[in-house]
Amino acid sequence: MTADLLLVNLAARGVSVTADGGSIELDAEAGVLTDDDLRALKDQKRGVLRLLRLAEGSPVDESASRLLAMDQLAPSDLPICATCGRLSDTETMDSAWHCSRCDTSAKYRHEETQRWLRNAETIRNYHQHSNG
Ligand SMILES: [Zn+2]
C-alpha cells in the first residue's frame, strides 16, 4: 500500500495520524489499529511523514529543512502564500518567495534546489573521504 492510500485508509477508520518531528503519532480507538497497519506505517514511514508535512505546510524533507537551517530562517519568517495560506517554501535568486503547491514553476525550482543540495552533499562527502 502506498503512503497516501495508507493515510486515506486510516483516516476512514477514524485514526488520527500526525507528524511529530521524525516520528508518526497515532491516535485511535482501542482495537482499531491492526498489526498490519503498524507494519505498513513502519514500511511507509518516510512517505507518510512527507505527506503529513506537505499537508501542514512544513518543509517536506531533510533537504528543505537543511535549506531553511542554512539560511537561518525560522518558519515564522517565511511569507504566507496568498492562495493557499501555507508557508512559502521556495526562494528564488531575486529573494522572492514562492509556494511550491500553487506555483508550478516554483515546484520545479524547488526540485532543482533540492537536487543542487543533494549534489552539494555528494561533493562534500567525496571530499571528506578523499581528505580522510
Ligand atoms: Zn500556496
- pLDDT tens, 65-91? 555 554 445 566 678 888 888 878 777
Q: Are 99 and 106 in contact (CB under 8 A)?
A: yes
Phi, psi at 103, each rounded to 5°? -105, 105
pLDDT value of position 77: 67
The SS3 assignment for 91 reads strand
- Which of 35, 61, 87 is at the close of a domain? 61
pLDDT value of position 39: 92
CA of 36 to the centre of ligand 1 (A): 35
- Judge if 84 and 117 occupy the same domain: yes
CA of 101 to the centre of ligand 1 (A): 5
- Judge if 83 and 111 occupy the same domain: yes
Residue 68 placed within a domain: no
pLDDT value of position 35: 92
Assign residue 49 the CATH number of its domain: 1.10.10
pLDDT value of position 34: 93
Residue 66 placed within a domain: no
Assign 11 a pLDDT band (cuts: 50, 70, 90).
confident
Residue 69 placed within a domain: no
CA of 105 to the centre of ligand 1 (A): 12
CA of 107 to the centre of ligand 1 (A): 11
CA of 9 to the centre of ligand 1 (A): 26
pLDDT value of position 36: 92
More confident residue, 60 or 19: 19
| Structural domain total, the chain | 2
DSSP H/E element including 32: none
Span 37-58, pLDDT tens digits: 999 999 989 888 887 777 766 6
Three cell numbers, residue 47: 512517505
Phi, psi at 32, each rounded to 5°? -75, -45
Enter the pTM of the model.
Answer: 0.45
Q: Which amino acid is at 73?
A: L
Span 97-132, pLDDT tens digits: 778 778 777 667 767 777 777 776 776 666 666 655
Three cell numbers, residue 71: 539560511
DSSP H/E element including 124: helix 104-131
- Judge if 1 and 53 occupy the same domain: yes
- Domain assignment of residue 131, given as a range: 74-132
